[in-house]
Amino acid sequence: MSPRALYAVAALTASCGAGLLFAVQPMIARALLPAFGGTAAVWTTSLLFFQTLLLAGYAYAHRVARLPGRRAAAVHGGLLALSLLTLPITPDPPLAIGEYPALQLLGVLTTSVGAPYVLLAATAPLLQARVAPHSATPYRLYAWSNAGSIAGLLLYPLAVEPAIGVVAQTRGWSWIYAGFCGLMALWVGASRSAAPVPPSGPPPSRRLRLLWVGLSATGVALLMSVTDAIAADLTVTPLFWVVPLLLFLLSFVVAFGPRPGGRRLWMPLGLAGLGALVALQIAGWRASWSVQIGGYCFGLFTGCMALHGELARRAPDPGRLTGFYLHTALGGALGGVSVGLLAPLLFDLHVELPLAIVATFGLCAASIWREKPAQMPVEGPRLLLGALGLALVLLGGWPLIGRLQGDVSLYRSFFGALQVKRYRDGALVNLTDGRISHGFQRMAAERRREPTAYFARHSGVGRLLSAPGGPRRVAVVGLGAGTLAAYARPGDAFDFYEINPDVVDAARRHFTFLADVPAPPRVILGDGRSRLAAHRGAPYHMLILDAFSGDAIPAHLLTREALALYLDRLQPGGWLAINVSNHHADLARVVRAHAAHFDLIWTRIRAKARSPLGPYYSDWMVLGRRVDGPLDRDGADLPPPDPDDLDGPPPVHWTDDFASLRAILK
């Protein structure tokens, strides 16, 4: 095979392998999302897994690339054949979430997709190592590989997820992977006579290798922390997973491409992007979703371009490229471990993004600083860089300082970050999940049982629970501070379903809503949907859905299949109340679609509750089966639907296989 043909086949194979490599990431995480409660940490932990296995793949490629051509072909071809035995990659999630959900998730990912992923990760460096003797620009294959990654990422949310169910997705991917193994085997056979390129020149210094690791680690940390911030304030969905990862890969394509630009372009833009990230940290959820997405994406891309541009400038000669990729993969794994595992253990607040911003600036500034001539006056650009760095540190840390002021108790786990803050010498206690307040309590004895915030008596759920009637069985998905227990009367039985053990501890330790109930309510730990599916007791009179973390939407709790389960757990004439309050998404359109599908009557009640912490705007939809009688049967004081709600935007259908967020963004 001619060198040009060999290079063309290598480029095609690298692109196909990279497309499979990155298409499987959102695919497998999407398949596992409901089993782990729909929390943002599912994707963050998955990114940690993928970065770690990328390191394993690059280490394997580094070793095999040093073997003679025929032996390397035999080893790689044999492992490709063995990996086919692990197909299909359809995951087998655990029946219940244990004490260490992150480790459970990593275990499921390993058994389902581990072997194929490692071999796919090794594809690009192996191909480049074999092409190097025949090409003056083997690093161009890196750009081809990342272009394939971008294509795979784009195809999944735009074409695959909207059209194909989750099980069919994983099986289809498995068939395509089998075809790729055949293509790779043909290429390995054609190139088995190629000898590895011997390294030339002195080996890279320890300082240079550490810089490779640091630049790569910081880029991955920036990616993961930005993605986590988007998921916490918007929703956990492949659409918002893919966009940051796409920009991260695009930065590699540009940096290692034929026209990467230079420091004069990307360093100022990177500084502006870091400033945008700091501004979003200060603005929080108050910024619209479009401003948040635009600002986060701009900051991520320009920051990664500054980092990866420095990485590309320091790429070694082709004989050492597998070692270079091994060090960058090591950095990626360290960045993933830092954000995905160490940060939740070491910090009770989400400090990863401020730290990633400071690290990005620091590495880029140090990289420029080191290359300045010795005669460069210190009082010039260096002082300017130092001043800008200090400003970023102060501004980036300002939101954290504000959250720590006063009497604060902090919690953090796989399921999110909680803050319990006391005001007025403990007379008022507030619970914050993410950056959104989830309720407060007045601690004076005469007002302790007063429902507050989104659950005030004139809110939709307040009007429903204030209705007269005999003893009621009430299920509440989402505990929060336990505010809804304030509506319990003698003889009532309240069951709270809560996935986060920290929420249960905070509600019992810092609030008294649960303790003040005449008959203590049950708190059932676990994902609300799966625990309701296991419920075999008497049906409920009312089921209330209020299970948001921050402003994010656990989509698996709002699908058609979930609504069918809720209705099955209600007695005839029972009510279903859903909190559709959200700054960025019109969840009412999804609920209206379910109401039409199940032929339910419904109404929507918006309310504003004043408080010492500012106004709380609630938006509830109350639904019931269509039976004889008016909407206010059983004494519930519920108004008829507003004509504007009936004639509003068209309903949007969500199912377990398809839950599009784009259609309901405000």
- Res 379: pLDDT: 43
Instruction: Band the pLDDT of 152: cuts 50, 70, 90.
Output: confident
Do both 218 and 185 map to the same domain? no
Asked which of 164-173, 377-386, 414-423 is least confident by mean pLDDT, the reply is 377-386
In whole angstroms, what is the distance from residue 497 CA to residue 523 CA?
Answer: 6
Tokens describing residue 549: 């973390």
Q: Do 26 and 241 meet the contact criterion of CB atoms below 8 Å apart?
A: yes
Residues 427-439 pLDDT 10s: 888 888 766 778 8
Do both 142 and 226 map to the same domain? no
Do both 234 and 173 map to the same domain? no
- Res 562: pLDDT: 93
Chosen domain end from 405, 422, 438: 405
Do strands 540-545 and 570-579 pair parallel, antiparallel, or not at all (unpaired)?
A: parallel
468 occurs within a structural domain = yes
Q: Which residue has the higher pLDDT, 123 or 459?
A: 459
What number is the average pLDDT over the span 652-666?
Answer: 77
In whole angstroms, what is the distance from residue 496 CA to residue 514 CA?
Answer: 10
Do both 267 and 236 map to the same domain? yes
In whole angstroms, what is the distance from residue 38 CA to residue 500 CA?
Answer: 12
Asked which of 195-209, 365-379, 422-436 is least confident by mean pLDDT, the reply is 365-379
Do both 83 and 166 map to the same domain? yes
- Res 644: pLDDT: 75
SS3 574: strand
Instruction: Band the pLDDT of 513: cuts 50, 70, 90.
Output: very high
Residues 328-358 pLDDT 10s: 889 989 998 888 888 888 877 778 888 888 8
- Res 206: pLDDT: 86
Do both 239 and 149 map to the same domain? no
- Res 428: pLDDT: 86
Cis omega (within 30 of 0) on the bond before 318? no
Do both 464 and 382 map to the same domain? no
In whole angstroms, what is the distance from residue 352 CA to residue 342 CA?
Answer: 10
329 occurs within a structural domain = no
- Res 298: pLDDT: 93
DSSP-assigned beta bridge partners for residue 576 = 543, 623
Q: What letter represents residue 374's amino acid?
A: A
Do both 558 and 643 map to the same domain? yes
Do both 305 and 219 map to the same domain? yes
For the cut 60, the answer to whether the pLDDT of residue 149 exceeds it is yes
- Res 380: pLDDT: 46
What number is the average pLDDT over the span 544-556?
Answer: 74
| Range with top average pLDDT, 160-169, 336-345, 634-643 | 336-345
In whole angstroms, what is the distance from residue 16 CA to residue 50 CA?
Answer: 18
Distances in Å between the Cα of 268 and the Cα atoms of 25, 250, 274, 295, 308 are 32, 19, 10, 16, 15
Do both 103 and 71 map to the same domain? yes
422 occurs within a structural domain = no
Closest CA to 473 of 446, 452, 491, 450: 491
400 occurs within a structural domain = yes
39 phi and psi angles, rounded to 5 deg: -80, 155
Q: Do 457 and 486 meet the contact criterion of CB atoms below 8 Å apart?
A: no
Looking at the 3D structure of the chain, how many domains does it have?
Answer: 3
Structural domain range at position 78:
1-193
List, in order, residues 6 or more apart from 358 with CB less than 8 Å away: 389, 392, 393, 396
Do both 106 and 177 map to the same domain? yes
What number is the average pLDDT over the span 230-256?
Answer: 78
560 occurs within a structural domain = yes
Portion of the chain with pLDDT greater than 90, in percent = 23
In whole angstroms, what is the distance from residue 481 CA to residue 495 CA?
Answer: 14
440 occurs within a structural domain = no
| Range with top average pLDDT, 68-77, 341-350, 483-492 | 483-492
Q: Do 312 and 258 meet the contact criterion of CB atoms below 8 Å apart?
A: no
Q: Which residue has the higher pLDDT, 325 or 395?
A: 325
Q: Do 236 and 38 meet the contact criterion of CB atoms below 8 Å apart?
A: yes
Do both 133 and 280 map to the same domain? no
Question: Long-range pairs for 439-442 at CB < 8 Å and ≥24 separation?
Answer: 439/480, 439/481, 439/483, 440/481, 440/611, 440/613, 441/481, 441/483, 441/511, 441/512, 441/513
Tokens describing residue 478: 């989402």
